[in-house]
Structure 1
Amino acid sequence: MRPPALPFAVHVSRRAEFGHRWARARSALLIAFVVAPLAVLGATAAAVAAASGEGPAGTGSSVVALALVLPSAGYLLWFRASGRFLVRTRYWAVRVVSCGLVQLLGTLPLAVVAGGVAGVLCPAVTAFAVLAGTVAAARAHRTLLAAAGGAPAATNLPLERDLRIHPPRLYGTATIGADRLGWSLKPRGRYGFPGALVAGTVPFGEITGVRVEQVNEHDAPLVAPGVPAPPGPVVVVSTRRGDAVVAVKEAAEFAALLDLRLRLTAEPGWA
Protein backbone atom coordinates (compact mmCIF):
# COMPACT_ATOMS: atom_id res chain seq x y z
CA MET A 1 0.00 0.00 0.00
CA ARG A 2 1.30 3.44 -0.93
CA PRO A 3 2.25 5.62 2.09
CA PRO A 4 0.02 8.68 2.62
CA ALA A 5 1.06 12.12 1.40
CA LEU A 6 3.16 13.99 3.94
CA PRO A 7 2.27 17.48 5.23
CA PHE A 8 5.97 18.37 5.55
CA ALA A 9 9.04 18.12 3.34
CA VAL A 10 11.29 15.07 3.60
CA HIS A 11 14.57 14.23 1.90
CA VAL A 12 14.36 11.32 -0.51
CA SER A 13 16.73 9.26 1.66
CA ARG A 14 14.10 9.09 4.43
CA ARG A 15 10.85 9.50 2.51
CA ALA A 16 9.72 5.89 2.83
CA GLU A 17 10.52 5.82 6.55
CA PHE A 18 8.56 8.99 7.25
CA GLY A 19 5.69 7.78 5.12
CA HIS A 20 5.30 4.91 7.58
CA ARG A 21 5.93 7.15 10.59
CA TRP A 22 3.27 9.60 9.47
CA ALA A 23 0.76 6.82 8.79
CA ARG A 24 1.07 5.75 12.44
CA ALA A 25 1.30 9.22 13.96
CA ARG A 26 -1.66 10.57 11.99
CA SER A 27 -4.12 8.22 13.71
CA ALA A 28 -2.78 9.11 17.15
CA LEU A 29 -2.99 12.83 16.33
CA LEU A 30 -6.59 12.35 15.24
CA ILE A 31 -7.44 10.79 18.61
CA ALA A 32 -5.57 13.42 20.62
CA PHE A 33 -6.67 16.60 18.86
CA VAL A 34 -9.99 15.71 17.21
CA VAL A 35 -11.74 12.68 18.71
CA ALA A 36 -10.95 13.49 22.35
CA PRO A 37 -12.12 17.14 22.30
CA LEU A 38 -15.22 16.21 20.29
CA ALA A 39 -16.07 13.54 22.87
CA VAL A 40 -15.75 16.14 25.64
CA LEU A 41 -17.96 18.56 23.71
CA GLY A 42 -20.59 15.86 23.24
CA ALA A 43 -20.57 14.90 26.91
CA THR A 44 -20.78 18.55 27.94
CA ALA A 45 -23.71 19.17 25.60
CA ALA A 46 -25.58 16.21 27.11
CA ALA A 47 -24.96 17.49 30.63
CA VAL A 48 -26.05 21.02 29.67
CA ALA A 49 -29.30 19.59 28.30
CA ALA A 50 -29.85 17.59 31.50
CA ALA A 51 -29.20 20.65 33.67
CA SER A 52 -31.47 22.94 31.68
CA GLY A 53 -34.42 22.22 33.97
CA GLU A 54 -32.54 22.90 37.20
CA GLY A 55 -33.23 26.63 37.34
CA PRO A 56 -30.53 29.23 38.07
CA ALA A 57 -28.07 26.58 39.27
CA GLY A 58 -28.36 24.75 35.97
CA THR A 59 -27.98 27.94 33.96
CA GLY A 60 -24.97 29.13 35.94
CA SER A 61 -23.14 25.81 35.84
CA SER A 62 -23.85 25.48 32.11
CA VAL A 63 -22.42 28.92 31.40
CA VAL A 64 -19.28 28.14 33.41
CA ALA A 65 -18.85 24.75 31.73
CA LEU A 66 -19.27 26.14 28.23
CA ALA A 67 -16.92 29.05 28.98
CA LEU A 68 -14.18 26.58 29.95
CA VAL A 69 -14.85 23.68 27.60
CA LEU A 70 -15.52 25.47 24.31
CA PRO A 71 -12.26 27.50 24.12
CA SER A 72 -10.04 24.64 25.31
CA ALA A 73 -11.61 22.06 23.00
CA GLY A 74 -11.61 24.57 20.16
CA TYR A 75 -7.91 25.23 20.67
CA LEU A 76 -7.06 21.54 20.35
CA LEU A 77 -9.15 21.22 17.19
CA TRP A 78 -7.50 24.34 15.74
CA PHE A 79 -4.02 23.13 16.70
CA ARG A 80 -4.48 20.05 14.52
CA ALA A 81 -6.61 21.47 11.70
CA SER A 82 -4.41 24.53 11.14
CA GLY A 83 -1.20 22.49 10.98
CA ARG A 84 0.17 24.38 13.97
CA PHE A 85 1.41 21.09 15.39
CA LEU A 86 4.01 21.07 12.60
CA VAL A 87 5.37 24.42 13.85
CA ARG A 88 5.13 23.79 17.59
CA THR A 89 6.66 20.33 17.62
CA ARG A 90 7.01 20.11 21.40
CA TYR A 91 4.62 19.62 24.31
CA TRP A 92 1.81 17.97 22.35
CA ALA A 93 0.81 15.84 25.33
CA VAL A 94 1.15 18.81 27.69
CA ARG A 95 -1.29 20.80 25.56
CA VAL A 96 -3.83 17.98 25.63
CA VAL A 97 -3.63 17.37 29.37
CA SER A 98 -3.64 21.10 30.20
CA CYS A 99 -6.76 21.72 28.13
CA GLY A 100 -8.26 18.54 29.54
CA LEU A 101 -7.84 19.72 33.12
CA VAL A 102 -9.63 22.94 32.20
CA GLN A 103 -12.43 20.88 30.67
CA LEU A 104 -12.73 18.74 33.79
CA LEU A 105 -12.86 21.86 35.93
CA GLY A 106 -15.77 23.09 33.86
CA THR A 107 -17.74 19.84 33.67
CA LEU A 108 -17.56 18.71 37.31
CA PRO A 109 -19.89 21.41 38.75
CA LEU A 110 -22.21 20.92 35.79
CA ALA A 111 -22.33 17.17 36.41
CA VAL A 112 -23.27 17.71 40.06
CA VAL A 113 -26.18 19.95 39.08
CA ALA A 114 -27.31 17.76 36.18
CA GLY A 115 -27.34 14.56 38.23
CA GLY A 116 -28.63 11.27 36.91
CA VAL A 117 -26.96 9.41 34.06
CA ALA A 118 -25.67 12.61 32.44
CA GLY A 119 -24.10 13.68 35.72
CA VAL A 120 -22.17 10.44 35.91
CA LEU A 121 -21.23 10.07 32.26
CA CYS A 122 -20.10 13.65 31.60
CA PRO A 123 -17.05 13.70 33.92
CA ALA A 124 -16.32 10.03 33.20
CA VAL A 125 -16.26 10.57 29.44
CA THR A 126 -14.24 13.77 29.86
CA ALA A 127 -11.65 12.09 32.07
CA PHE A 128 -11.33 9.12 29.72
CA ALA A 129 -11.03 11.40 26.68
CA VAL A 130 -8.31 13.47 28.35
CA LEU A 131 -6.37 10.36 29.34
CA ALA A 132 -6.70 8.77 25.90
CA GLY A 133 -5.81 12.04 24.18
CA THR A 134 -2.73 12.56 26.32
CA VAL A 135 -1.45 9.04 25.67
CA ALA A 136 -2.16 9.40 21.94
CA ALA A 137 -0.38 12.76 21.73
CA ALA A 138 2.70 11.36 23.46
CA ARG A 139 2.69 8.35 21.14
CA ALA A 140 2.31 10.52 18.03
CA HIS A 141 5.22 12.72 19.08
CA ARG A 142 7.44 9.75 19.84
CA THR A 143 6.54 8.06 16.55
CA LEU A 144 7.07 11.08 14.33
CA LEU A 145 10.00 12.83 16.00
CA ALA A 146 12.10 10.07 17.56
CA ALA A 147 15.71 11.11 16.95
CA ALA A 148 17.07 7.59 16.36
CA GLY A 149 19.58 7.68 13.53
CA GLY A 150 19.08 11.41 13.10
CA ALA A 151 15.86 10.79 11.16
CA PRO A 152 14.11 14.12 11.99
CA ALA A 153 17.03 15.99 10.41
CA ALA A 154 15.84 14.68 7.05
CA THR A 155 12.62 16.73 7.36
CA ASN A 156 11.92 20.45 7.43
CA LEU A 157 10.22 20.18 10.83
CA PRO A 158 11.65 22.52 13.49
CA LEU A 159 13.75 20.63 16.04
CA GLU A 160 13.77 22.48 19.34
CA ARG A 161 15.82 21.70 22.43
CA ASP A 162 16.27 23.43 25.79
CA LEU A 163 19.41 25.34 26.64
CA ARG A 164 21.37 24.48 29.78
CA ILE A 165 20.91 27.74 31.67
CA HIS A 166 21.61 27.82 35.40
CA PRO A 167 19.80 31.00 36.54
CA PRO A 168 16.34 29.58 37.34
CA ARG A 169 14.64 32.79 36.24
CA LEU A 170 15.78 32.28 32.65
CA TYR A 171 14.67 29.81 30.01
CA GLY A 172 16.33 29.20 26.67
CA THR A 173 15.76 27.15 23.55
CA ALA A 174 17.71 26.36 20.41
CA THR A 175 15.88 25.45 17.21
CA ILE A 176 17.10 23.82 14.03
CA GLY A 177 14.80 25.25 11.39
CA ALA A 178 14.33 24.44 7.73
CA ASP A 179 17.11 26.79 6.63
CA ARG A 180 18.61 28.35 9.76
CA LEU A 181 19.67 27.77 13.34
CA GLY A 182 18.11 29.97 15.99
CA TRP A 183 18.25 30.35 19.75
CA SER A 184 16.68 32.60 22.35
CA LEU A 185 16.87 33.31 26.05
CA LYS A 186 13.86 34.74 27.85
CA PRO A 187 12.30 34.93 31.31
CA ARG A 188 10.94 31.60 32.46
CA GLY A 189 7.24 31.15 31.82
CA ARG A 190 7.26 32.93 28.47
CA TYR A 191 7.61 29.88 26.20
CA GLY A 192 5.77 30.54 22.96
CA PHE A 193 5.55 34.30 23.57
CA PRO A 194 7.56 36.99 21.76
CA GLY A 195 10.15 39.10 23.47
CA ALA A 196 13.52 37.47 24.18
CA LEU A 197 16.34 38.92 26.26
CA VAL A 198 18.82 37.48 23.78
CA ALA A 199 18.14 35.91 20.40
CA GLY A 200 20.38 34.76 17.60
CA THR A 201 19.95 33.34 14.12
CA VAL A 202 22.45 31.87 11.70
CA PRO A 203 21.35 30.92 8.16
CA PHE A 204 22.62 27.54 7.07
CA GLY A 205 24.54 29.18 4.23
CA GLU A 206 26.78 30.96 6.74
CA ILE A 207 27.63 27.87 8.82
CA THR A 208 31.03 26.38 8.03
CA GLY A 209 31.25 23.74 10.76
CA VAL A 210 29.65 22.19 13.83
CA ARG A 211 31.46 20.60 16.75
CA VAL A 212 31.00 19.77 20.42
CA GLU A 213 33.39 21.17 23.01
CA GLN A 214 33.72 20.93 26.77
CA VAL A 215 33.76 24.16 28.78
CA ASN A 216 34.61 24.65 32.42
CA GLU A 217 33.52 27.29 34.88
CA HIS A 218 36.80 29.21 34.67
CA ASP A 219 36.77 30.04 30.95
CA ALA A 220 33.12 29.53 29.99
CA PRO A 221 31.98 31.76 27.10
CA LEU A 222 28.99 34.04 27.60
CA VAL A 223 25.69 32.97 26.04
CA ALA A 224 24.12 36.30 27.04
CA PRO A 225 25.36 39.45 28.77
CA GLY A 226 26.39 38.32 32.25
CA VAL A 227 25.24 34.72 31.65
CA PRO A 228 28.11 32.26 31.10
CA ALA A 229 27.60 28.87 29.54
CA PRO A 230 27.33 26.26 32.31
CA PRO A 231 30.19 23.76 32.57
CA GLY A 232 29.81 20.76 30.31
CA PRO A 233 29.42 20.05 26.60
CA VAL A 234 28.32 22.86 24.29
CA VAL A 235 27.73 23.04 20.55
CA VAL A 236 30.11 25.39 18.77
CA VAL A 237 28.81 26.59 15.41
CA SER A 238 31.50 28.06 13.19
CA THR A 239 30.36 30.81 10.83
CA ARG A 240 32.00 33.28 8.49
CA ARG A 241 31.72 35.88 11.26
CA GLY A 242 33.14 33.72 14.05
CA ASP A 243 31.98 31.02 16.44
CA ALA A 244 28.58 30.90 18.12
CA VAL A 245 28.27 28.88 21.33
CA VAL A 246 24.97 27.10 21.94
CA ALA A 247 24.81 25.53 25.40
CA VAL A 248 22.05 23.11 24.49
CA LYS A 249 21.01 20.02 26.40
CA GLU A 250 22.06 16.75 24.76
CA ALA A 251 24.74 18.63 22.86
CA ALA A 252 26.09 15.64 20.94
CA GLU A 253 22.64 14.68 19.61
CA PHE A 254 21.83 18.29 18.72
CA ALA A 255 25.13 18.71 16.88
CA ALA A 256 24.55 15.49 14.94
CA LEU A 257 21.04 16.59 13.94
CA LEU A 258 22.29 20.01 12.86
CA ASP A 259 25.21 18.58 10.91
CA LEU A 260 22.98 16.08 9.09
CA ARG A 261 20.37 18.70 8.22
CA LEU A 262 23.09 21.00 6.90
CA ARG A 263 24.38 18.26 4.61
CA LEU A 264 20.94 17.16 3.42
CA THR A 265 19.76 20.73 2.83
CA ALA A 266 22.61 21.17 0.36
CA GLU A 267 21.47 18.12 -1.61
CA PRO A 268 18.59 17.77 -4.09
CA GLY A 269 15.75 15.33 -3.52
CA TRP A 270 13.41 17.24 -1.20
CA ALA A 271 9.66 16.92 -1.58
Structure 2
Amino acid sequence: MTNKNEIIGSGPDYYKNMSLDSYRGKVNSPAENREYAERYHIPMVTRAKEKFGSPIHVLSIACGPADELNFIKNDPDTKIIATDFSSYILTHAKKALGEGAGVFTSDANSPALKENIAEAGILVNAMIYAPDKMLEAMYNALKPGAQCTLNFRTFSLVEQERGVFGYFLEHGGKVLDRELPVQTRGESRVFNVKVLDYSETTKAGSKMPDLERRQLKQQIFFMSLDDMRELAKLMGFKEIEYSRFVLPGLHKIYYVLILEKP
Protein backbone atom coordinates (compact mmCIF):
# COMPACT_ATOMS: atom_id res chain seq x y z
CA MET A 1 0.00 0.00 0.00
CA THR A 2 1.32 3.44 -0.91
CA ASN A 3 1.77 5.97 1.89
CA LYS A 4 -0.48 8.94 1.09
CA ASN A 5 2.38 11.27 2.03
CA GLU A 6 4.92 9.47 -0.14
CA ILE A 7 6.41 11.52 -2.97
CA ILE A 8 6.30 9.43 -6.14
CA GLY A 9 9.09 10.08 -8.62
CA SER A 10 8.87 9.49 -12.34
CA GLY A 11 10.56 6.07 -12.23
CA PRO A 12 12.22 4.00 -14.96
CA ASP A 13 9.32 4.46 -17.42
CA TYR A 14 10.04 8.17 -17.64
CA TYR A 15 10.16 9.24 -21.29
CA LYS A 16 8.46 6.04 -22.48
CA ASN A 17 5.56 8.01 -24.00
CA MET A 18 7.52 11.07 -25.09
CA SER A 19 9.57 12.04 -28.13
CA LEU A 20 12.87 13.88 -27.80
CA ASP A 21 11.40 17.11 -29.19
CA SER A 22 8.46 16.85 -26.81
CA TYR A 23 10.81 16.23 -23.89
CA ARG A 24 12.85 19.34 -24.64
CA GLY A 25 9.72 21.41 -25.17
CA LYS A 26 8.17 20.38 -21.86
CA VAL A 27 11.29 20.40 -19.70
CA ASN A 28 12.73 23.72 -20.94
CA SER A 29 15.93 23.31 -18.93
CA PRO A 30 19.19 25.21 -19.55
CA ALA A 31 20.91 21.96 -20.56
CA GLU A 32 21.01 22.99 -24.24
CA ASN A 33 21.97 26.59 -23.54
CA ARG A 34 25.50 27.57 -24.55
CA GLU A 35 25.56 30.59 -22.26
CA TYR A 36 24.81 28.33 -19.28
CA ALA A 37 27.58 25.93 -20.28
CA GLU A 38 30.10 28.73 -20.78
CA ARG A 39 29.17 30.34 -17.47
CA TYR A 40 29.17 27.22 -15.31
CA HIS A 41 30.15 23.84 -16.75
CA ILE A 42 33.12 24.74 -18.93
CA PRO A 43 34.84 26.86 -16.24
CA MET A 44 34.26 24.07 -13.71
CA VAL A 45 35.92 21.57 -16.07
CA THR A 46 38.86 23.96 -16.47
CA ARG A 47 39.23 24.33 -12.70
CA ALA A 48 39.13 20.55 -12.29
CA LYS A 49 41.95 20.08 -14.81
CA GLU A 50 44.04 22.69 -13.04
CA LYS A 51 43.49 21.02 -9.67
CA PHE A 52 43.67 17.33 -10.58
CA GLY A 53 45.51 17.28 -13.89
CA SER A 54 44.26 15.70 -17.12
CA PRO A 55 42.32 13.70 -17.98
CA ILE A 56 39.39 14.31 -15.66
CA HIS A 57 36.07 12.49 -15.25
CA VAL A 58 32.86 14.53 -15.35
CA LEU A 59 29.76 12.90 -13.87
CA SER A 60 26.25 13.96 -14.91
CA ILE A 61 23.47 12.44 -12.79
CA ALA A 62 19.93 12.45 -14.26
CA CYS A 63 21.52 13.38 -17.58
CA GLY A 64 18.41 12.93 -19.73
CA PRO A 65 19.41 13.10 -23.41
CA ALA A 66 22.81 14.52 -22.30
CA ASP A 67 22.32 17.94 -23.91
CA GLU A 68 24.49 19.57 -21.23
CA LEU A 69 27.39 17.28 -22.15
CA ASN A 70 27.48 18.22 -25.83
CA PHE A 71 29.58 21.26 -24.92
CA ILE A 72 32.41 19.18 -23.41
CA LYS A 73 32.14 15.78 -25.12
CA ASN A 74 34.81 16.51 -27.73
CA ASP A 75 37.43 17.52 -25.18
CA PRO A 76 40.09 14.76 -25.29
CA ASP A 77 41.06 15.52 -21.68
CA THR A 78 37.52 15.00 -20.37
CA LYS A 79 36.00 11.57 -19.77
CA ILE A 80 32.22 11.57 -19.41
CA ILE A 81 30.15 9.45 -17.04
CA ALA A 82 26.39 9.90 -17.52
CA THR A 83 23.54 8.24 -15.64
CA ASP A 84 19.76 8.36 -15.63
CA PHE A 85 17.08 6.07 -14.26
CA SER A 86 15.25 5.89 -17.59
CA SER A 87 16.73 3.44 -20.07
CA TYR A 88 14.44 4.98 -22.70
CA ILE A 89 16.04 8.41 -22.57
CA LEU A 90 19.54 6.98 -22.26
CA THR A 91 19.29 5.67 -25.82
CA HIS A 92 19.52 9.31 -26.93
CA ALA A 93 22.35 10.04 -24.49
CA LYS A 94 24.40 7.12 -25.80
CA LYS A 95 23.86 8.22 -29.39
CA ALA A 96 24.83 11.82 -28.59
CA LEU A 97 27.94 11.00 -26.57
CA GLY A 98 29.35 8.12 -28.58
CA GLU A 99 31.23 5.04 -27.47
CA GLY A 100 33.86 6.91 -25.47
CA ALA A 101 31.45 7.88 -22.70
CA GLY A 102 30.31 5.72 -19.82
CA VAL A 103 26.51 5.83 -20.02
CA PHE A 104 24.37 3.58 -17.82
CA THR A 105 21.13 3.30 -15.86
CA SER A 106 21.31 4.31 -12.22
CA ASP A 107 18.63 5.15 -9.64
CA ALA A 108 19.63 7.84 -7.13
CA ASN A 109 17.93 5.82 -4.38
CA SER A 110 20.39 2.97 -4.98
CA PRO A 111 23.07 4.44 -7.26
CA ALA A 112 25.25 2.18 -9.38
CA LEU A 113 28.25 4.44 -8.83
CA LYS A 114 31.59 3.83 -7.17
CA GLU A 115 32.94 6.32 -4.66
CA ASN A 116 35.52 9.00 -5.51
CA ILE A 117 35.43 8.46 -9.28
CA ALA A 118 34.85 11.99 -10.63
CA GLU A 119 36.72 15.29 -10.57
CA ALA A 120 33.62 17.33 -11.51
CA GLY A 121 29.85 16.85 -11.39
CA ILE A 122 26.75 18.17 -13.14
CA LEU A 123 23.13 18.19 -11.95
CA VAL A 124 20.83 19.89 -14.48
CA ASN A 125 17.12 19.91 -13.71
CA ALA A 126 17.76 16.95 -11.40
CA MET A 127 16.63 18.32 -8.05
CA ILE A 128 12.91 17.88 -8.71
CA TYR A 129 13.22 14.16 -8.02
CA ALA A 130 14.68 12.81 -4.74
CA PRO A 131 16.94 15.87 -4.27
CA ASP A 132 18.54 14.48 -1.12
CA LYS A 133 19.44 11.22 -2.87
CA MET A 134 20.72 13.07 -5.94
CA LEU A 135 23.08 15.14 -3.82
CA GLU A 136 24.16 12.17 -1.73
CA ALA A 137 24.98 10.14 -4.85
CA MET A 138 26.96 13.05 -6.29
CA TYR A 139 28.83 13.65 -3.04
CA ASN A 140 29.90 10.03 -2.76
CA ALA A 141 31.01 9.85 -6.40
CA LEU A 142 33.12 13.01 -6.32
CA LYS A 143 36.74 13.00 -5.24
CA PRO A 144 37.66 15.21 -2.27
CA GLY A 145 38.18 18.74 -3.56
CA ALA A 146 35.96 18.19 -6.60
CA GLN A 147 33.11 20.55 -7.45
CA CYS A 148 29.63 20.10 -8.88
CA THR A 149 27.16 22.56 -10.36
CA LEU A 150 23.42 22.21 -9.79
CA ASN A 151 20.41 24.27 -10.75
CA PHE A 152 16.97 24.33 -9.18
CA ARG A 153 13.79 26.36 -8.87
CA THR A 154 11.81 27.19 -5.76
CA PHE A 155 8.03 26.92 -5.74
CA SER A 156 7.64 30.70 -5.81
CA LEU A 157 9.53 30.82 -9.12
CA VAL A 158 7.17 28.18 -10.53
CA GLU A 159 4.12 30.17 -9.41
CA GLN A 160 5.42 33.26 -11.17
CA GLU A 161 5.09 31.53 -14.55
CA ARG A 162 1.39 32.31 -14.78
CA GLY A 163 0.82 30.76 -18.19
CA VAL A 164 2.60 27.45 -17.59
CA PHE A 165 1.44 27.08 -13.98
CA GLY A 166 -2.12 28.07 -14.87
CA TYR A 167 -2.22 25.48 -17.66
CA PHE A 168 -1.00 22.84 -15.22
CA LEU A 169 -3.81 23.60 -12.74
CA GLU A 170 -6.49 23.89 -15.43
CA HIS A 171 -5.62 20.49 -16.89
CA GLY A 172 -5.75 18.27 -13.83
CA GLY A 173 -2.49 19.20 -12.13
CA LYS A 174 -2.43 19.37 -8.34
CA VAL A 175 -0.20 21.09 -5.80
CA LEU A 176 0.45 19.04 -2.66
CA ASP A 177 2.01 19.96 0.66
CA ARG A 178 4.55 17.35 1.69
CA GLU A 179 7.42 16.82 4.09
CA LEU A 180 10.83 15.63 2.95
CA PRO A 181 12.69 13.99 5.86
CA VAL A 182 16.46 13.91 5.43
CA GLN A 183 18.94 12.16 7.68
CA THR A 184 22.63 11.88 6.94
CA ARG A 185 26.02 12.10 8.65
CA GLY A 186 24.42 12.11 12.09
CA GLU A 187 22.12 15.06 11.34
CA SER A 188 18.46 15.21 10.39
CA ARG A 189 15.99 17.77 9.11
CA VAL A 190 12.45 17.77 7.76
CA PHE A 191 11.88 20.15 4.85
CA ASN A 192 8.42 21.43 3.97
CA VAL A 193 8.10 21.19 0.20
CA LYS A 194 5.54 21.68 -2.53
CA VAL A 195 4.87 18.81 -4.91
CA LEU A 196 3.46 19.20 -8.42
CA ASP A 197 1.36 16.12 -9.13
CA TYR A 198 0.94 15.27 -12.83
CA SER A 199 -0.74 11.89 -12.31
CA GLU A 200 -4.21 13.05 -13.44
CA THR A 201 -3.30 15.67 -16.04
CA THR A 202 -5.34 15.87 -19.24
CA LYS A 203 -4.71 17.07 -22.79
CA ALA A 204 -5.62 20.57 -23.90
CA GLY A 205 -9.22 20.90 -25.06
CA SER A 206 -10.27 17.46 -23.85
CA LYS A 207 -10.49 15.16 -20.86
CA MET A 208 -8.18 12.63 -22.46
CA PRO A 209 -5.24 11.58 -20.27
CA ASP A 210 -2.01 13.38 -21.12
CA LEU A 211 0.31 10.37 -21.02
CA GLU A 212 3.41 12.48 -21.65
CA ARG A 213 2.80 14.61 -18.57
CA ARG A 214 1.40 11.84 -16.40
CA GLN A 215 4.67 9.93 -16.55
CA LEU A 216 6.30 12.89 -14.77
CA LYS A 217 4.27 11.80 -11.72
CA GLN A 218 5.35 14.10 -8.84
CA GLN A 219 8.02 16.80 -8.80
CA ILE A 220 9.52 18.36 -5.67
CA PHE A 221 10.09 22.08 -5.16
CA PHE A 222 11.73 23.61 -2.11
CA MET A 223 10.18 26.67 -0.51
CA SER A 224 13.35 28.73 -0.36
CA LEU A 225 16.93 29.08 -1.53
CA ASP A 226 18.07 28.67 2.08
CA ASP A 227 16.40 25.26 2.29
CA MET A 228 18.40 24.00 -0.68
CA ARG A 229 21.56 25.46 0.78
CA GLU A 230 20.88 23.67 4.05
CA LEU A 231 20.27 20.39 2.23
CA ALA A 232 23.61 20.71 0.44
CA LYS A 233 25.31 21.39 3.78
CA LEU A 234 23.63 18.36 5.35
CA MET A 235 25.03 16.22 2.56
CA GLY A 236 28.52 17.45 3.42
CA PHE A 237 29.07 20.01 0.66
CA LYS A 238 30.69 23.42 1.00
CA GLU A 239 29.07 26.20 -1.02
CA ILE A 240 31.51 27.93 -3.37
CA GLU A 241 29.22 30.19 -5.37
CA TYR A 242 25.56 31.15 -5.77
CA SER A 243 24.00 32.95 -8.72
CA ARG A 244 20.83 33.25 -10.77
CA PHE A 245 20.47 32.27 -14.40
CA VAL A 246 17.65 33.47 -16.63
CA LEU A 247 16.86 31.21 -19.56
CA PRO A 248 16.71 33.50 -22.62
CA GLY A 249 13.40 33.86 -24.41
CA LEU A 250 11.36 32.14 -21.71
CA HIS A 251 12.65 34.40 -18.90
CA LYS A 252 12.68 31.31 -16.73
CA ILE A 253 14.73 31.88 -13.57
CA TYR A 254 17.01 29.25 -12.04
CA TYR A 255 19.10 29.33 -8.91
CA VAL A 256 22.56 27.86 -9.45
CA LEU A 257 24.92 26.55 -6.77
CA ILE A 258 28.53 25.51 -7.19
CA LEU A 259 29.38 23.06 -4.41
CA GLU A 260 32.62 21.42 -3.34
CA LYS A 261 33.28 18.15 -1.56
CA PRO A 262 35.80 18.96 1.21
TM-score between the two structures when normalised by the length of structure 2? 0.26
Which structure has the larger Rg over C-alpha atoms?
A: 1
Higher helix proportion (structure 1 or 2): 1
TM-score between the two structures when normalised by the length of structure 1? 0.26
